Chains A and B, each alone.
Chain A
Amino acid sequence: MNQVMNFFSNSLRERMQNLNLEGKMLQEIRLRVYKPVIIYIDNEEYFLSIHGEISKDSISPMIILPKDIADTLVLMSEYSLYSYEEELKNGYITIKGGHRVGIVGKAVIEDNKIKTLKNISGLNIRISHQMTGCADKILHYILNSPSIYNTLIVSPPKCGKTTILRDVARQISDGYLEFKGLNVSIVDERSEIAACFNGTPQNDVGIRTDVLDGCPKVWGMRILLRAMSPDVVVVDEIGGEEDVGAIRDILNAGIKIICSLHAADLEDIKNKKYVADLINEKAFEKIVFLSNKKGIGTLDSVWNVVGRRWEVRDS
């Protein structure tokens, strides 16, 4: 909390600095122009009052002014909005500590592309919580000592794919029980896995891990293949034709791959033409399905290639 506090405007900082959130999980802080500050703690919604207290009712709430948003954004960007131009186009920046800040305002369009955002009207500060050990339950399906299986981690949004992918990368890199650590390379196009800030991963992604931050997946995979001679490449949210091409290059070079995909089940994957081709080619040896049936990151099933067929190994 203290780390995030430094990024708020003075008026916000004054009201938030006395909040006692010990033992609670701060998840999100939402700032909207001329609207109350809303804070999400342990999946509950609270309003911040002008007296610096939080309550579930909007009683004398602190109202955010444009200056609060502008000052907060300046502090979050370390007085350097220009250095976040590319991220701004995508509507978010990653700040020190790996926290993700979603940004909305007026999009400036040039040549059919978003040039930048102006008149920023809302910030959604999502507090990063690394869930160390959350991949324990799927790791033994992936490991094939001394190497690993090419694995696809699949789930609908908000089921903890990226969090589990990060922990898988960390454990493969550091080593797990008898499994000796491998050189892992991560292509972190949206800074979600390692949450790099000024080039330094803010999340623990392992001692043998190299991170290529902010680079498009397709370029990134090929750069890492040539430059870092990894044992394993980790990449988040594949889907496009070019992604699949780069994955084939990785596999042809004998390098293992772990990636994630937005989909609900095997049927859903079949609708994603390019990834479905990869699945049919048996490029992946394991497919891990996650859901949030019993909380975020619930392991639903693990599919194995058996001969030429896919079979459920565990569910």
Chain B
Amino acid sequence: MLKIIGMLIVIVTSTGVGFYIPRLHKNKIEFLMDIRQSFCLLKNEINYAVNTIVVSFFNIQEKASNQYVKQFFYDMYEHLQNKDGISLKNIWEKGVNDLLYKEKINESEARHIKTFGNSLGYLDKEQQLRNIDFLVEGLDEIILKHKENHEKHSKLYSRMGILVGLMVAIVML
């Protein structure tokens, strides 16, 4: 009886892991899409409302649905409001590191977002908008790559999970 229970636990756990890994990938895609969305909002803030970076960050954090993105823009807003003399580039880099760590975004994927902070606020409106477009294009490529990987591997992971569970259960017999 104990053996059967043990086998069931192994199968359920393995299957769960098989479904959990694709879920993680999906979360990462949704997270990247939320970041992308926030930069589209930033573009609108700059282009149509002609708001300052500080006001734009506050407005974006109010509209963002992802809690990490929301927190990121709120923290940025707070730092900039304090005018503590730290450069925007440094504040941005630290904030982006913290944000991207939350969803384990790797260094090469984070590069676009990090370097975006170097010129944020210094350029004229046209260049600022072009800079955002460039970043959004970069994010689109990353998201597309993740989506393709997700479609390719999600079924594989879930089937592998079931099969590995069954295999271990058979070995246990």
Query: Do the two chains belong together in a single complex?
Result: yes
User: What is A's interface to B at a CB cutoff of 8 Å?
Assistant: 6-7, 9-10, 13, 74-75, 77-83, 85, 116, 198
Separation in Å of the A83 CB from the closest CB of chain B? 5
Separation in Å of the A32 CB from the closest CB of chain B? 22
Separation in Å of the A118 CB from the closest CB of chain B? 10
- Asked if A10 and B85 make an inter-chain contact with CB atoms under 8 angstroms apart, the answer reads yes
- Take A6-B83, A7-B83, A10-B85 as given contacts and tell me if A78 and B122 are in contact as well, using a CB distance cutoff of 8 Å: no
- Asked if B54 and A82 make an inter-chain contact with CB atoms under 8 angstroms apart, the answer reads no
- A6 to B82: give the CA distance in the assembly, Å: 8
- A85 to B125: give the CA distance in the assembly, Å: 8
The chain A residue sitting closest to B80, CB to CB, is: A79
4 smallest CB-CB distances across A and B, nearest first, come from: A79-B121, A80-B52, A78-B52, A82-B125
20 contacts between A and B (CB under 8 A): A74-B88, A75-B85, A77-B52, A78-B53, A78-B54, A79-B53, A79-B120, A79-B121, A80-B52, A81-B122, A81-B123, A82-B46, A82-B50, A82-B123, A83-B46, A83-B51, A83-B52, A85-B124, A85-B125, A198-B52
- Asked if B121 and A82 make an inter-chain contact with CB atoms under 8 angstroms apart, the answer reads yes
How many B residues touch A, CB cutoff 8 Å?
Answer: 19
Say yes or no for B128: interface residue by CB 8 A criterion. yes
Given the complex, which residues of A lie within 8 Å of B56, measured CB to CB? 80
- A74 to B83: give the CA distance in the assembly, Å: 11
Given the complex, which residues of A lie within 8 Å of B51, measured CB to CB? 80, 83, 198
Say yes or no for B55: interface residue by CB 8 A criterion. yes
Given the complex, which residues of A lie within 8 Å of B124, measured CB to CB? 81-82, 85, 116
The chain A residue sitting closest to B55, CB to CB, is: A198
Q: What per-residue 1/0 map shows which CB atoms of B84-128 lie under 8 Å from chain A? A: 010010000000000000000000000000000000111111001
Q: What per-residue 1/0 map shows which CB atoms of B52-95 lie under 8 Å from chain A? A: 11111000000000000000000000001001010010000000
Q: Which of B122, B125, B128 contacts A74 (CB 8 A)?
A: B122
- A9 to B121: give the CA distance in the assembly, Å: 16
- A74 to B88: give the CA distance in the assembly, Å: 10
Separation in Å of the A12 CB from the closest CB of chain B? 10
- A30 to B28: give the CA distance in the assembly, Å: 51
The chain A residue sitting closest to B54, CB to CB, is: A78
Separation in Å of the B90 CB from the closest CB of chain A? 12
- Take A6-B83, A10-B85, A13-B85 as given contacts and tell me if A80 and B54 are in contact as well, using a CB distance cutoff of 8 Å: yes
- Asked if B122 and A83 make an inter-chain contact with CB atoms under 8 angstroms apart, the answer reads no
- A246 to B52: give the CA distance in the assembly, Å: 32
- Take A198-B52, A198-B55 as given contacts and tell me if A80 and B85 are in contact as well, using a CB distance cutoff of 8 Å: no
- A267 to B52: give the CA distance in the assembly, Å: 46
Separation in Å of the B114 CB from the closest CB of chain A? 17
The chain B residue sitting closest to A82, CB to CB, is: B125
- A71 to B173: give the CA distance in the assembly, Å: 72
- A129 to B52: give the CA distance in the assembly, Å: 25
